[in-house]
């Protein structure tokens, strides 16, 4: 069965890969690593290897058995474009996503150049299927090049997760991005997010026509600071890029 997600912007998670390695400051307090390492050495547990990279071929077919349309976050416990994941396995993941076109798949990575290269080769420079959403994580101004890489992919459903937002990001061009998710860090040692950093991204989204979703302030726990920005919830969602058959099935 699907793993129901507590992440506010998706319905379920699918993890054909687990485990990862750090590539930037946004990884310093990784929630997935913290969770997985709790179980290291426990024989028979899915995370007995902790957060070491592991492929799960047995999980590849899972979405094909989920008949009700869902928003599915792919690899919430890893990064599909980790350099040590064989391209043939990534092909198998994409084949399942392409086949299960009654779902929306949300693929998020910090390895944006590998994403760009793979997608351009797979679709021969053409457009990505509209039910496969591709996104990048950007934690501070030093990593906005990931947005440049994302924009080089032909897709109507590009999205960005500015979470954890660790510093100000000014004057970034978000035109042609469908959706932006902003949130502060949570968990032990969480680094605070300044309100002006979130406000600035909200204003850029309004300027550039991007759906804006404010996920959380963060703190010791994800819900510690709530999710009101200037007294409001910001629940923007890019409904305009959801394929019509999926919209109909969802009853929207």
Residue 4, pLDDT score: 67
In the predicted model, what is the mean pLDDT of residues 86-90? 97
Q: Give dist(CA 62, CA 106) in Å, integer.
A: 15
Beta bridge partners of 109: 136
pLDDT digits (tens, 9 = 90+) for 171-219: 999 999 999 999 999 999 999 999 999 999 999 999 999 999 999 999 9
Cβ–Cβ under 8 Å, residues 168 and 188: no
Q: Of 4 and 19, which is predicted with more confidence?
A: 19
pLDDT for the residue 5: 67
Would you say residue 152 has pLDDT above 70?
A: yes
Predicted structure pTM score: 0.95
pLDDT at residue 1, as a whole number = 38
Phi, psi at residue 105, to the nearest 5°? -105, 130
Residues 101-110 pLDDT 10s: 999 999 999 9
Nearest 5°: the CA angle 228, 232, 235 is 85
Helix 112-122, helix 87-99: angle, nearest 10: 60
- Look at residue 212 and give its three-state secondary structure: strand
Work out the mean pLDDT of the chain and round it to a whole number: 95
């Amino acid at each position: 069965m699907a793993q129901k997600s507590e992440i506010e912007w998706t319905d379920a998670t699918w993890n054909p890969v687990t485990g990862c390695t750090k590539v930037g400051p946004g990884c310093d307090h990784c929630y997935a690593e913290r969770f997985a390492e709790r179980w290291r050495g426990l024989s028979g547990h899915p995370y007995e290897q902790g957060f070491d990279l592991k492929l799960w071929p047995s999980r590849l077919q899972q979405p094909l058995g989920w008949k009700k349309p869902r928003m599915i976050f792919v690899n919430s416990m890893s990064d599909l474009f980790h350099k040590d994941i064989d391209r043939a396995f990534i092909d198998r993941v994409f084949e399942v996503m392409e086949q299960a076109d009654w779902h929306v798949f949300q693929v998020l990575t910090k390895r944006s150049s590998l994403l760009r290269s793979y997608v351009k080769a797979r679709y021969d420079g053409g457009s990505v299927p509209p039910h496969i959403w591709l996104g990048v994580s950007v934690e501070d101004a030093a990593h906005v090049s990931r947005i440049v890489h994302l924009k080089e992919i032909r897709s109507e459903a590009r999205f960005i997760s500015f979470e954890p937002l660790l510093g100000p990001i000014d004057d970034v061009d978000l035109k042609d991005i469908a959706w932006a998710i902003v949130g502060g860090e949570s968990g032990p040692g969480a680094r605070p997010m300044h309100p002006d950093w979130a406000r600035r991204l909200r204003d850029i989204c309004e300027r550039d026509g991007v759906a804006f979703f404010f996920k959380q302030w963060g703190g010791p726990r994800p819900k510690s600071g709530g999710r009101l920005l200037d007294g409001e919830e910001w629940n923007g969602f890019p409904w305009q890029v959801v394929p019509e058959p999926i919209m109909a099935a969802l009853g929207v």
